[in-house]
Amino acid sequence: MKILIIGGGWAGISAAVEASERGHQVFLVEERPYLGGRARSFIDRESGHHIDNGQHVMMGCYSSFLRVLQALGTEHLLERQRALQVAFVDKSATKSVLDASILPGKLGVVAGLLRLSGVQFTSRIACVRLAIAIALGTVHTTDCTCSEFLRRAKQPEDIVKRFWEPLVLATLNAPLDKASAELLVAVMRLAFLGSREDSSLLIPTCGLSDLIEPLPSWVASRGGSVKLSTSVDRLIIADHRCRQVVLSDGTIHHVDAVISAIPQRALERLCASSGTPVTFPAAPESSPIVSLYLWYTEQWMTHELLAALGTTVQWVFNKRRIARGLVALTVSAGHSIVGVSQDEIIRHCDAELRELLPEARHATLIRGLVIKEKMATPLFTPTTQRIRADHFMDQLENLLLAGDWTATGLPATIEGAARSGIWAIDCLSRVP
């Protein structure tokens, strides 16, 4: 089949790899001059360093994402933890560690939770009891937020603050009182209650764009092509099928099938300008992520990564491989700071680091860079989670949907996007 893929983010990339491997002829069109979409890197003009648009962390359970890297031969660019290990630090500068390496498989995570310091023993037992119920599938999440779910499951405040809330922010990019509990349970089952490898973190040792750098030549070697800096402007529809696609360079392409791998609002605009009668479920609101890069004179950070508790800063990453003294910070669901000035954010987060980490107190800050991704991910509440779009649309039989916003069963993540690309290609068998 001749397939046109709209969008070169992780959903489009994964669809391109999957379709090429199944022998289809792929033409991927991306409007920006680079691939990667919301997960990309760029060269910072002032330092010359390769910087990501925001630190991304993947996990061993990201099987669709890893399938792409294996095909492209870039899997070696990820550093894998042997087992999940995350150090937490709070404002009293007390560190505790969630260490799943003590026992094999999911027992490792359970043992790690039982040993988590800074939390009452009874709270740890309550947490483990809930984890087991999730693993056994005996919990009910229909139409409930994470706050309601954790309240019903009688989770004490200390374990909510020190485990559940950081987990929800990091994986769902949403506050507890808005995030869908169904997605929290999906994350727990897939990532934390699978094998030891599933729960371990994968951290890129390079810029995010390096992971996908071979894609254009890889696709070309299989008879396809990738076109950058070109947008799909219009779909020409007849008899419930997309017959042709009009690009911004004026060219018109005949297609057997189209994979839309663009965000929901972009697809709605494209359908409107094409005069198609397609209707979509109401788009979820977006949740921002604010990322910071701070360059210090000294290499003060010793951990690879740290989760910060009770501060605006939520995660601190050691970026020594890029530059000595460079750290990256993440603020997920950053609604409260996304409107604050860059200088103020840098001042505030630098002060928090010094409060959290004695080793940072004597370091001199050289420079800071703030990246605000206002539309980082769709925010899935219980309502918007329930109505996520399927990959196959009855209204247009050869237009298949991919993207982190579609019904992947996962939060909006690289893995959700990569999974959606594969599932959209699976749907080609339903195209008449």
Ligand X SMILES: Cc1cc2nc3c(=O)[nH]c(=O)nc-3n(C[C@H](O)[C@H](O)[C@H](O)COP(=O)(O)OP(=O)(O)OC[C@H]3O[C@@H](n4cnc5c(N)ncnc54)[C@H](O)[C@@H]3O)c2cc1C
Q: Which of 56, 67, 319, 419 binds ligand X (CB under 6 A)?
A: 56
Residue 319 makes contact with ligand X by CB under 6 A: no
Range in contact with ligand X (rule: CB under 6 A) among 54-62, 210-218, 297-305, 321-329: 54-62
Q: How far is the CB of 402 from ligand X (least distance, A)?
A: 7
> Taking CB under 6 A as the rule, does residue 57 contact ligand X?
yes
Angle, helix 414-426 to helix 10-21, in steps of 10 degrees: 40
Please report whether residue 403 would count as binding ligand X according to CB under 6 A: yes
Residue 404 binds ligand X (CB under 6 A): yes
Interface region with ligand X, contact rule CB under 6 A, candidates 79-87, 263-271, 336-344, 348-356: 263-271
Site string for ligand X, 183-222 (x = CB under 6 A): ----------------------------------------
Residue 226 or 261: the one with the smaller Cβ distance to ligand X is: 261
Phi/psi region, residue 137 (left: phi>0; alpha: psi -120 to 50; beta: rest), is left
Distance CA 310, CA 287 (A): 20
- Indicate the SS3 state at residue 97: strand
CA neighbor of 186 nearest in space, from 70, 300, 59, 296: 59
- Angstrom distance (rounded) from CA 167 to CA 83: 17
With CA atoms as reference, report the closest residue to 284 among 407, 184, 167.
407
Q: With binding defined as CB under 6 A, does residue 175 bind ligand X? A: no
Phi-psi region of 7 (alpha: psi -120 to 50; beta: other; left: phi over 0): left
Q: Is the separation of the CB atoms in 153 and 133 below 8 Å?
A: yes
The one segment of 2-10, 75-83, 213-221, 352-360 that binds ligand X by CB under 6 A: 2-10
Query: Which one among 16, 28, 31, 264 touches ligand X, defined by CB under 6 A?
Result: 31
Coil vs helix vs strand at 378: strand
**Binding residues vs ligand X (CB under 6 A):** 6-12, 29-32, 37-39, 53-54, 56-58, 231-232, 261-263, 266, 270, 289, 291, 373, 376-377, 403-404, 412-415, 417
